[in-house]
Amino acid sequence: MIEVFICEDEVNQRSELVKHVENYIMMENFDMELALSTGDPEELLSYVQFGGEGMGLYFLDVDLKHPRLDGLELAQKIREYDPRGFIVFITTHAELSYLTFTYKVEAMDYIIKDDFDKVRNRIFDCMRSVEERVGRERKEVGKFFTMKTDEKVIHELYDDILFLSTLKTKARRIILHGQDRQIEFYGTLKSLEDSFDERFYKTHRAFIVNTDKIESVNYVNGIITMVNQEECLLSTRASKDFREFIRRRGGKTQNSRPISE
């Protein structure tokens, strides 16, 4: 179920938002629930960090009168715990819309409170869009690595994962190396081995690699070079079986790209 959140510190406007969200969930029979409506951004953050399911829909007032967090800063914090959530800003200040790019929060929409009929329609459009997008992703659930930790919810396409490695400087910390970002989280590679499909291979006690993202393998030196030129280790113990695994695939990735030696 998609969790919907409202953070608006003006009581009457918050009540209007709640009414419209709840009415639309009921009328359209969407797989959504209003998880929290509040004027306190810290209350929302606490919920998202410790109780949220991830990929929530957030309606945030930009102009929060909180001493430590305005709506944009709140959105940045939400991104730490729910990187794939949907954020919608609602404000009276059209001139602040450019700040959503400055804060790099990837907002879904920026709704101006100039006409509440328009506001209501834009809210409905956002909810409909999220329902459709999440519905499509659920049909492709096997294509995603999803993990909830105490710190965040990780939801990443398998195709976007290059490899996972342990962090030498911190115990029980893992780094997921993606196409365009890295995600650090608490855990062990051993506990994650069964979370991945057949293209992923544990080449070393400190590495699980996506074999579709391998550029080349140096079996003599035990070095695997990925398509982004990062290097992973191949242990002596794993080398023979890994070489046979690659040989059975014709020395190619699943999408038929040759792996050089």
Is 126 within a domain? yes
Statement to judge: residues 161 and 132 lie in one domain: no
In a domain, 167, yes or no: yes
CB–CB of 109/122 below 8 Å?
yes
**Domain that residue 219 falls in:** 144-248
Least Cα distance to 203 among 168, 172, 162, 169 occurs for 162
On whether both 96 and 162 belong to a single domain, the answer is no
Q: Is 36 helix (H, G, I), strand (E, B) or coil?
A: strand
Per-residue pLDDT of the chain (261 residues; tens, 9 = 90+): 899 999 998 999 999 999 999 999 999 999 999 999 999 999 999 999 887 777 899 999 988 888 888 888 899 899 888 888 999 999 876 655 555 555 566 788 888 887 778 889 999 999 999 999 888 777 665 677 877 776 667 878 888 999 999 987 777 889 999 987 888 888 889 888 888 888 999 999 999 999 999 999 999 999 999 999 999 999 999 999 999 999 888 776 655 566 777
| Residue 199 within a domain | yes
Domain CATH number, residue 183: 2.40.50.1020
- How confident is the model at residue 63, as a pLDDT? 83
Q: Domain check: are 58 and 86 in the same one?
A: yes
Q: What are phi and psi of 59, to 5 degrees?
A: -100, 110
Quick one: 122 and 218 in the same domain? Answer: no
Q: Does residue 259 lie within any of the structural domains?
A: no
The reply to whether 118 and 157 lie within a common domain is no
Indicate whether 6 and 134 sit together in one domain. yes
pLDDT at 98: 52
- Residue 61: inside a domain: yes
Looking at the structure, tell me whether residues 216 and 202 fall in a common domain. yes
Q: What angle do CA 108, 103, 77 make, to 5 degrees?
A: 80
Whole-structure pTM value: 0.58
Report the alpha-carbon distance of residue 103 to residue 105 in Å, rounded: 6
Single out the residue in 122, 139, 156 at which a domain terminates: 139
Of 87, 108, 139, the residue that ends a domain is 139
The reply to whether 229 falls in a domain is yes
Asked if 199 and 135 sit in the same domain, the reply is no
128 in the same domain as 163: no
Rounded to a whole number of angstroms, the distance between the first and last alpha carbons of the chain is: 47
164 and 102 co-located in one domain: no
E strand or H helix at 79: helix 71-81
User: Which residue, among 85, 67, 69, 76, has the nearest Cα to 154 in the 3D structure?
Assistant: 85
In-domain check, residue 255: no
CATH at residue 121? 3.40.50.2300
Instruction: Count up the domains in the chain and report the number.
Output: 2
Q: Is residue 258 part of a domain?
A: no
Given a contact cutoff of 8 angstroms between Cβ atoms, the answer to whether 7 and 38 are in contact is yes
Q: Do both 73 and 32 map to the same domain? A: yes
Domain-terminating residue out of 107, 139, 171: 139
Q: In terms of Cα–Cα distance, which of 174, 141, 173 is closest to 156? A: 141
Task: Tell me: do 73 and 179 sit in the same domain.
Answer: no
